[in-house]
């Protein structure tokens, strides 16, 4: 069993912080009766949205019926699940809670009729229902949102995360430098799931861990977001910094290329600098085509160096200003963004089917370890 499972809170005592959300949830569930507005949880990943429902259910001997809306085709699937398990009583539990995750990820577009029907089922439900959304302000949720009570979850503090990690290590009988826990808490910026995953990778099977053991985490260097990468490329004069800026980014170089291309002229103001930057990009583009044509991947480094170092060094001095970077319009026209997302989605679905769980579980619970396993495998070759 992974540690995030093993140490999922079994009671509210083990549940960390989120005071306001907990208070709202308790007030709601304790006085719940049919017809009451459902709750809509939202907030960053790994901070206890799902865990709160399970902790409460565990404490009160309730069954949780969880459904991931992203994996279902439409509202009527949700209606069916709720509808059919609404009738039967559970065998060993006192009651049930329905938990419908990623409601904003539901495939078809907003459909007022379907939402209305869903709400009707919700109104008639004999058991409480909690919805979870990544983005509660998504336009397709408007109607649902107006009919739910919103509950916000916050990022956990470094202190909260550290404390929970310490409890886990104590339970496992593992000693650790204080710096190790601090480092793990910091790099996961308020995400306890990420922190526990990291801790497991570092500590499992050991009696004691030190800062040196953190090296294995290299593989999971927090994903740099594209805005930071652009900021580095556009602001730095250091070739190394520019080169490294794309190391930890979870986008392929072609996509990064278009992000840079789109934003050069927003950042740089002097014409000769803009021209120089575009020259570098055009050379990068030539390399890209050679790579594709001859399948010569050794040229890759010239391609990425031209678009990072080439663009970085095109300026005389850094512009001390804030630029709002825009997503590349060309990707939208080419439908490339959608294409990569679709491809990724399909791969996740395949894995989910193989592992018999939701795609979200694959992403959050299996992928970190698969990446680690495969990294070692590639190293041997």
Ligand X SMILES: Nc1ncnc2c1ncn2[C@@H]1O[C@H](COP(=O)(O)OP(=O)(O)OP(=O)(O)O)[C@@H](O)[C@H]1O
Which residues form the interface with ligand X (CB under 6 A)? 4, 7-9, 15-18, 45-51, 164, 192-193, 196, 364
- Gap between the Cα atoms of 193 and 191, Å rounded: 6
- Pair 226, 257: CB distance under 8 Å: no
15 contact choice in ligand X, Mg ion, none (CB below 5 to 8 Å, kind-dependent): ligand X
Contacts of 61 (CB under 8 A, 6+ apart): 93, 94
Quote the least distance from Cβ 101 to Mg ion, whole Å: 6
Identify which of 71, 58, 124 has the alpha carbon closest to the alpha carbon of residue 100: 71
Residue placing its CB nearer to ligand X in the complex, 82 or 196: 196
**Cβ-based neighbour number of residue 331 at 10 Å:** 18
Q: What distance lies between CA 352 and its chain's CA centroid?
A: 17
* CA atoms in the 13 A half-sphere facing the CB of 254: 11
Quote the least distance from Cβ 82 to Mg ion, whole Å: 18
Check residue 50 for interaction with Mg ion (CB under 5 A): yes
364 contact choice in Mg ion, ligand X, none (CB below 5 to 8 Å, kind-dependent): ligand X
- Pair 141, 170: CB distance under 8 Å: no
Quote the least distance from Cβ 211 to ligand X, whole Å: 24
Residue placing its CB nearer to ligand X in the complex, 65 or 307: 65
Residue placing its CB nearer to ligand X in the complex, 49 or 96: 49
With CB atoms as reference, the residue minimizing the distance to ligand X is 48
239 contact choice in ligand X, Mg ion, none (CB below 5 to 8 Å, kind-dependent): none
Quote the least distance from Cβ 106 to Mg ion, whole Å: 16
71: its two tokens: 């994996």
**Torsion angle of the four alpha carbons 71, 251, 330, 264, in this order, in degrees rounded to the nearest 10:** 150
* Segment interacting with Mg ion (CB under 5 A) among 42-50, 115-123, 268-276, 351-359: 42-50
25: its two tokens: 């949830």
- For 36-49, the DSSP string reads PPPEEEE-STTSSH
45 contact choice in Mg ion, ligand X, none (CB below 5 to 8 Å, kind-dependent): ligand X
Handedness of CA 53, 58, 61, 62 (dihedral sign): positive
- Gap between the Cα atoms of 275 and 368, Å rounded: 42
Binding residues for Mg ion, total number by CB under 5 A:
2
* Segment interacting with Mg ion (CB under 5 A) among 44-52, 300-308, 330-338, 365-373: 44-52
- Gap between the Cα atoms of 48 and 161, Å rounded: 12
4 contact choice in Mg ion, ligand X, none (CB below 5 to 8 Å, kind-dependent): ligand X
48 contact choice in Mg ion, ligand X, none (CB below 5 to 8 Å, kind-dependent): ligand X
Check residue 68 for interaction with Mg ion (CB under 5 A): no
* Segment interacting with Mg ion (CB under 5 A) among 16-24, 49-57, 240-248, 372-380: 49-57
Binding site for Mg ion (CB under 5 A): 49-50
């Amino acid at each position: 069993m992974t540690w995030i499972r093993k140490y999922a809170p079994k009671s509210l005592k083990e549940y960390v912080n989120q005071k306001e959300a907990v208070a709202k949830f308790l007030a709601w569930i304790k006085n719940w009766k049919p017809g009451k507005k459902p709750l809509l949880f939202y907030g960053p990943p790994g901070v206890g949205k799902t865990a709160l429902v399970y902790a409460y259910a565990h404490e009160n001997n309730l069954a949780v019926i969880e459904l991931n809306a992203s994996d279902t085709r439409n509202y009527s699937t949700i209606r069916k699940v709720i509808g059919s398990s609404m009738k039967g009583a559970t065998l060993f539990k006192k009651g049930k809670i329905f938990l419908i995750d990623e409601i904003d990820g539901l495939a078809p577009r907003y459909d007022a009729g379907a939402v209305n029907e869903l709400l009707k089922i919700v109104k008639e439900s004999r058991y409480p229902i909690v919805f979870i959304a990544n983005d509660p302000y998504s336009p397709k949720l408007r109607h649902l949102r107006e009919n739910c009570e919103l509950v916000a979850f916050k990022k956990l503090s470094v202190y909260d995360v550290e404390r929970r990690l310490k409890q886990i290590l104590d339970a496992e009988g593992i000693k650790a430098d204080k710096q190790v826990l601090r480092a793990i808490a910091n790099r996961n910026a308020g995400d306890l799931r990420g922190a526990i995953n990291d801790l497991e990778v570092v500590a499992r099977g050991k009696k004691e861990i030190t800062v040196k053991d953190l090296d294995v985490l290299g593989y999971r260097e927090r994903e740099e977001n594209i805005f930071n990468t652009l900021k580095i490329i556009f602001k730095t004069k250091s070739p190394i910094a520019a080169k490294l800026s794309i190391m930890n980014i979870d986008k392929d170089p072609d996509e990064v290329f278009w992000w840079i291309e789109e934003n050069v002229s927003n950042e740089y103001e002097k014409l000769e600098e803009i021209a120089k930057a575009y020259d570098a990009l055009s050379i990068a583009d030539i390399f890209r085509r050679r790579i594709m044509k001859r399948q010569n991947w050794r040229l890759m480094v010239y391609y990425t160096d031209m678009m990072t170092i080439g663009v970085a060094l095109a300026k005389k001095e850094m512009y001390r200003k804030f630029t709002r970077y825009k997503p590349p319009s060309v990707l939208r026209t080419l439908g490339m963004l959608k294409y990569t997302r679709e491809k990724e989605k399909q791969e996740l679905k395949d894995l989910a089917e193989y592992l018999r769980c939701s795609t979200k579980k694959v992403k959050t619970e299996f992928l970190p370890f698969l990446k680690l396993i495969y990294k070692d495998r590639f190293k041997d070759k």
